[in-house]
């Protein structure tokens, strides 16, 4: 599995999770190395990962395990290859379906110590791998923020409210337990608004109450919260006038309530000045619900780095 690191360092470890899988999984071997190209690793960088000094471990259903640290000179924004050997059959694994980095799979045996995997099946998912840190290039390019990493805990289709896997339900185990966490940014709620038959029952007041719960739980652990306004979705196949009224009210609350420790106005960065319910052309939204890469770039540029490292007062 190919993943992007955040800040660099000389020691590294991984976390594996079976949070969504019931049967136990036998991890027969695990390795980490710097990625070269395709399924190949850079010579001399392969490291055996151990768990409590053992090269194999059983990952039980619902469990998260942490490997022992290994010495590896890891530059910032480097791609690493994490290899797992799973002997025998396994049920549907806990996975991230949209990792957007290649994963190479072989059914022919243990390739964790090999320099490449020949004739591998190609996927774009991570399997059992948790806690992938992704550093934004703007942070790395700025001297005052170059030691700050970003963990992407977003998942596709997530809602703020709901059972088991909602934003509120995931808050503790997916966000507040991240090592060294100081801030969390919140961009969630549009799927609650557009959720099919539910969109007539969701009100701005309901979402605001849920945001307040996120904030209060984060503050209990001294984690500051950045509120991000919900982006437009006019013209999409899930748009409704009622939903737009909820989104508008929620955004006004995010901007003006003072409940968050900081606010990033993503809506203002990507909305059309002539029709604020829609994305501006520069955001290049293919489905009018999600921005394309130019839109995400606009959102990234709207994030003030002084939030994380305030400018000293004179």
Q: For residue range 39-53, what is the model confidence (pLDDT) as tens digits?
A: 999 999 999 999 989
Q: Report the C-alpha gap between 55 and 67 in whole angstroms.
A: 10
Q: Which residues contact 86 (CB under 8 A, 6 or more apart)?
A: 25, 26, 27, 28
Percent of the chain predicted with pLDDT > 90: 53
Flag the least confident range among 73-87, 139-153, 176-190.
Answer: 139-153
Q: What is the mean pLDDT of the chain?
A: 87
Identify the pLDDT of residue 133: 40
Residue 103 burial by Cβ neighbours in a 10 Å radius (0-12, 13-18, 19+): buried
Identify the pLDDT of residue 95: 58
| Total Cβ atoms within 10 A of residue 306 | 10
Identify the pLDDT of residue 134: 35
Give 125's pLDDT tier (boundaries 50, 70, 90). Answer: confident
Identify the pLDDT of residue 199: 46
Domains identified in the chain and CATH numbers: 2-130 (no CATH), 153-307 (3.40.50.1110)
Q: Report the C-alpha gap between 133 and 178 in whole angstroms.
A: 10
DSSP-derived pairing of the beta strands 183-186 and 47-48: unpaired
Give 309's pLDDT tier (boundaries 50, 70, 90). Answer: confident
Identify the pLDDT of residue 61: 83
Q: What is the mean pLDDT of residues 141-168?
A: 81
Smallest CA-to-CA distance from 166 within 127, 128, 123, 202 is with 202
Give 197's pLDDT tier (boundaries 50, 70, 90). Answer: very low
Is it the case that residue 99 has pLDDT exceeding 60? no
Q: What is the mean pLDDT of residues 170-193?
A: 91
| Total Cβ atoms within 10 A of residue 258 | 8
The listed range with the strongest mean pLDDT (221-230, 282-291, 292-301) is: 221-230
Identify the pLDDT of residue 17: 85
Cβ-defined contacts of 141-146 (< 8 Å, 24+): 142/305, 144/305, 144/309, 145/305, 145/308, 145/309, 146/7, 146/76
Is it the case that residue 22 has pLDDT exceeding 80? no
DSSP-derived pairing of the beta strands 47-48 and 95-96: unpaired
Give 15's pLDDT tier (boundaries 50, 70, 90). Answer: confident
Flag the least confident range among 102-106, 194-198, 282-286, 287-291.
Answer: 194-198
Identify the pLDDT of residue 198: 44
Give 141's pLDDT tier (boundaries 50, 70, 90). Answer: confident
Flag the least confident range among 144-148, 175-179, 231-235.
Answer: 144-148
Q: What's the pLDDT tens digit per position in 240-249?
A: 999 999 999 9
């Amino acid at each position: 599995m190919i993943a992007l690191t955040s800040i660099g360092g000389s020691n590294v470890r991984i976390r594996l999770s079976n949070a969504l899988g019931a049967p136990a999984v036998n991890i027969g071997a695990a390795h980490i190395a710097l990625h070269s190209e395709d399924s190949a690793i850079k010579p001399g960088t392969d490291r055996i990962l151990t768990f409590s000094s053992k090269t194999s471990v059983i990952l039980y259903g619902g469990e998260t395990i942490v490997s022992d640290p290994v010495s590896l000179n890891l530059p910032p924004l480097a791609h690493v290859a994490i290899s797992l050997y799973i002997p025998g059959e396994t049920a549907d694994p806990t996975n991230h379906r949209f990792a957007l980095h290649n994963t190479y799979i072989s059914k022919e045996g243990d390739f964790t110590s090999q320099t490449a995997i020949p004739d591998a099946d190609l996927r774009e998912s991570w399997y059992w791998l948790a806690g992938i840190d992704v550093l934004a290039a703007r942070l790395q390019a700025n001297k005052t923020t170059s030691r700050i990493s970003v963990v992407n805990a977003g998942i596709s289709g997530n809602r703020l409210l709901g059972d088991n896997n909602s934003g509120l339900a995931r808050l503790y185990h997916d966000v507040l337990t991240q090592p060294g966490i100081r801030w969390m940014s919140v961009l969630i709620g549009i799927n609650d608004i557009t959720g099919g038959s539910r969109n007539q029952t969701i009100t701005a007041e309901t979402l605001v109450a849920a945001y307040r719960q996120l904030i209060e739980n984060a503050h209990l652990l001294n984690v500051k919260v950045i509120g991000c306004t919900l982006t437009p979705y006019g013209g999409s196949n899930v748009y409704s006038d009622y939903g737009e009224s909820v989104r508008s009210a929620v955004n006004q609350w995010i901007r003006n309530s003072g409940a968050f420790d900081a606010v990033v106005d993503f809506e203002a960065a990507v909305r059309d000045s002539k029709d604020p319910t829609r994305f501006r052309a520069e955001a290049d939204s293919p489905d009018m619900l999600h921005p394309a890469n130019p839109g995400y770039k606009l959102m990234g540029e709207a994030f003030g780095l002084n939030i994380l490292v305030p400018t000293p007062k004179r």
